[in-house]
Amino acid sequence: MSDQVPLLEASGLTVRFGKVTALDGFDLVAGTGQLLAILGPNGAGKTTFVRAVATLVRPAGGTLRVLGHDVAGDPIAVRREIGLAGQFAAVEPTMTGLENLQMTARLFGHRRRAAARAAATVIDLLDLGAVAGRRCATYSGGQRRRLDLGASLVGAPRLLLLDEPTTGLDPVSRREVWAAVRGLAQAGTNVLLTTHYLEEADELADHVVIIDHGRAVAAGPLAELKANIGRDVIEVEVSQPGQLPAAAQVLSAVTGSEPRVDPLVHRASVTVGSASQPGAAALAAVLTGLAGQHVSVGEIGVRRPTLDEVFLTLTGHRAGRQGQPESAGRRLQGSAR
Ligand SMILES: Nc1ncnc2c1ncn2[C@@H]1O[C@H](COP(=O)(O)OP(=O)(O)O)[C@@H](O)[C@H]1O
Ligand SMILES: [Mg+2]
């Protein structure tokens, strides 16, 4: 019975800060044994959700259960289940990695020997052995972030909360952190991470919830979401700005979708119409069409959609802008299951 309890269940979760509604009836159900990513632009409510799970904010409405414990009714039970790593690494730079972890373990109430054991386990888990004896001031960004993950693991939480774990990291460090997070998930820790990088959700998540203006706008296994919304984009840059409308017309004719035109950079782009129309096939048709219209092409290519484009598809408005009125466009119902 106990392994049937969902990892997280949010229903109509609402959190307000004064006049700002940060979570506006947020729904989510996620099982254990998977890596869950909350994906959304800045200001969408991701950190607020993490803080609600960590019992650090009090919801104004709705319910939230963490491994069966109600955050409002039994916050202490919730806190026992979780570890939290924030956007900024809380690491003492003058101490070594090992000392940092041992200190954290002592703060968790471990005696000296148990603290040493917990620290060693975490160092192993995060592959920090080579640097554990060095002062943290000398660590790379990725090493520091991994140590911070480690600090949130010494209490052996069943749920690890990672709020934007790679924001601000260089690409190499980002890959290091991804590898560490993947390792933790494989070793059996439930992970909830937030991100505004589509690519990060893509790399790591089994289950993705897309959040916008405090609501879940789409949810499901990543492969399913990608099949529905993650379609290829064809982008053309014309050599002669005057030919941009002709290029847009070709894109529209081939894909049946409305192209986006950006006169400033002489570019037009379009989402490939359906999952059954692969980007490469459509690209060939676009090239033929452009040649037929004597459009001279500066650059052309097929690429994965940006988060911005996924958002546009889902919500009818661009990601990254806040506080604008609800679009009349397509809004997928919060299909969190
Ligand atoms: N402590 C706070 N006081 C007032 N407004 C807040 C506070 N925390 C968050 N907000 C607002 O709530 C909304 C959601 O914020 P947040 O959860 O931090 O979004 P995200 O993490 O997705 O960027 C934003 O409009 C933000 O400005
Ligand atoms: Mg945030």
Protein residue closest via CA to atom 6 of ligand 1: 17
Distance 118 CA to ligand 2 centre (A): 29
**CATH architecture label of 231-303:** 2-Layer Sandwich (3.30)
Helix axes 112-125, 97-107, angle to 10 degrees: 130
At residue 170, the pLDDT reads 87
pTM of the model: 0.77
Q: How far is the CA of 43 from the centre of ligand 1 (A)?
A: 6
pLDDT computed for residue 333 by the predictor = 30
Q: Which fold has domain 2-91+139-227?
A: Rossmann fold (3.40.50)
Could you tell me where in the chain the CATH 3.40.50.300 domains are found? 2-91+139-227
Q: Identify the pLDDT of residue 156.
A: 84
For ligand 1, atom 7, name the residue with the nearest CA: 17
Burial of 201 (C-beta count, 10 Å sphere; 0-12/13-18/19+): buried
Instruction: Tell me where in the chain the CATH 3.30.70.100 domain(s) lie.
Output: 231-303
What does the alpha-carbon distance between residue 218 and residue 208 come to, in Å, rounded to a whole number? Answer: 8
Which mean pLDDT values do the consecutive 10-residue runs of the chain (337 residues) have? 80 97 97 93 94 94 97 94 73 92 87 92 89 94 88 88 89 88 90 90 91 93 72 92 97 91 95 70 93 96 76 68 36 32
Using CB distances shorter than 6 Å, the residues near ligand 1 are: 17, 20, 22, 40, 42-48, 322
Contact predicate 27/12, CB 8 Å: yes
CA distance 189 to 23: 26
Structure confidence at residue 317 (pLDDT): 67
Instruction: Compute the half-sphere exposure of residue 39: CA atoms within 13 Å on the CB side of its CA.
Output: 31
Kindly give the distance from the C-alpha atom of residue 242 to the centroid of ligand 1, in angstroms, as a whole number: 43
Instruction: Enumerate the β-bridge partners of residue 37.
Output: 193, 208
In total, the chain counts a number of residues equal to 337
Atom of ligand 1 nearest to the CA of 57: 1
